[in-house]
Amino acid sequence: MELSTPWVEKYRPKAVGDIIGHDRIKDRLEAYSKKKTMPHLLFAGPAGVGKTTAALALANGLFAGKIEGNFLELNASDERGIDVVRNSIKDFARSMSLGDVPFKIIFLDEADALTSDAQNALRRTMEKYTRTCRFVLSCNYSSKIIEPIQSRCAVFRFPHISDEAVLSRLKYICSQESIQFDDDGLKAVLYVAEGDMRKAINILQTTAAVGKVTRQDVYLMASQASPEDVRKLMKLALQGGFSQSREILDDLLINKSISGEEILLQMHKEIEKLDVDDKIKLAVLNLVGEYNFRMVEGANERIQLDALIAQLGLLK
């Protein structure tokens, strides 16, 4: 097993038909691939849900795997100024394609990082070179893409991948790599990944490197607390057991080296599972939001988390 060969790349779908978890999107992209035509596209959605993979799979389908010279991938967060649009993009866009597809594809990853000037220059380039080039823009937040560009594109919104689809892919990878695992271990991967396929595969590979994929090792490798520990911490605090809940908090912060912000995020995930009245859940949620804001603003995480569990105890 080679960690130097990331499984994210190794098991990336090479064709549109191999995409999982986005059936409607897959059907539309397959139609473009078969008809050898497409509009400008805007892929929007959270990280790790397959936007880049979909763009590469579409290009492979259109150009029959021969994307050399027909496909340009740029990361807009690295090259985000107007000079990139005026030089790299324009030079590639105005040249003719190679093969029987009458256009090239420019894939702009993280397009929401483009400056306002660059986006305004890009909209004219998209219009001027439509005959020889199509653009695929990928972003996490479509609201950061100016309206004139959005109106020129067919917008695809990628949701988080379902747990069933992620689990199916993880089991396939385990079978290919002869990885031992138990069901609780894969469930822990799903809990940590939260619909992010890239994160799920990376955690699986990291955990598998040290042996069998178990629940305990997954949380250790992901630097996260188990949900049971987080729920126990909140339950004890709500019952007025400040000392006991503080012991659990110290274990998470000191012995397991979990960041305070990560603990707050996990508390937010576990609030719904608390066996208390909805009014108490609302109060806990309000407190978690307040203390998260304080920590983001730079307050000491140890003091703020101690104050939070004290406030939870006062709710009793």
pLDDT tens per residue, range 243-265: 999 999 999 998 888 989 999 99
Tokens of 234: 């909140």
DSSP 163-183: HHHHHHHHHHHHHHHT--B-H
Q: Find all residues with CB under 8 Å of 190, minimum gap 6, and list them.
A: 163, 166, 167, 200
CA distance 223 to 226: 10
Q: Find all residues with CB under 8 Å of 42, minimum gap 6, and list them.
A: 111, 136, 137, 138, 139, 142, 145, 149, 150, 153, 154, 155, 156
The 10s digit of each residue's pLDDT in 173-188 is 999 999 999 999 999 9
Q: Find all residues with CB under 8 Å of 147, minimum gap 6, and list them.
A: none
Q: What confidence category does residue 64 fall into, taking pLDDT thresholds of 50, 70 and 90?
A: confident
Contact 10, 208 (CB under 8 A): no
Tokens of 198: 């890239």
Which is higher by pLDDT, 75 or 103? Answer: 103
> What are the structural domains, with CATH classification, of the chain?
7-157 (3.40.50.300), 163-221 (1.10.8.60), 227-315 (1.20.272.10)
Percentage of the chain beyond pLDDT 70 is 95
- Rounded to two decimals, the pTM is 0.83
> Is 1's pLDDT higher than 60?
no
> Quick one: average pLDDT of 69-88?
71
> Quick one: average pLDDT of 95-112?
85
> Quick one: average pLDDT of 218-223?
89
> Quick one: average pLDDT of 286-298?
93
- If you count DSSP H runs as helices and E runs as strands, how many of each does the chain have, helices first? 16, 5
The 10s digit of each residue's pLDDT in 2-47 is 455 688 888 888 888 888 888 889 999 999 988 888 999 999 999 9
> Is 299's pLDDT higher than 50?
yes
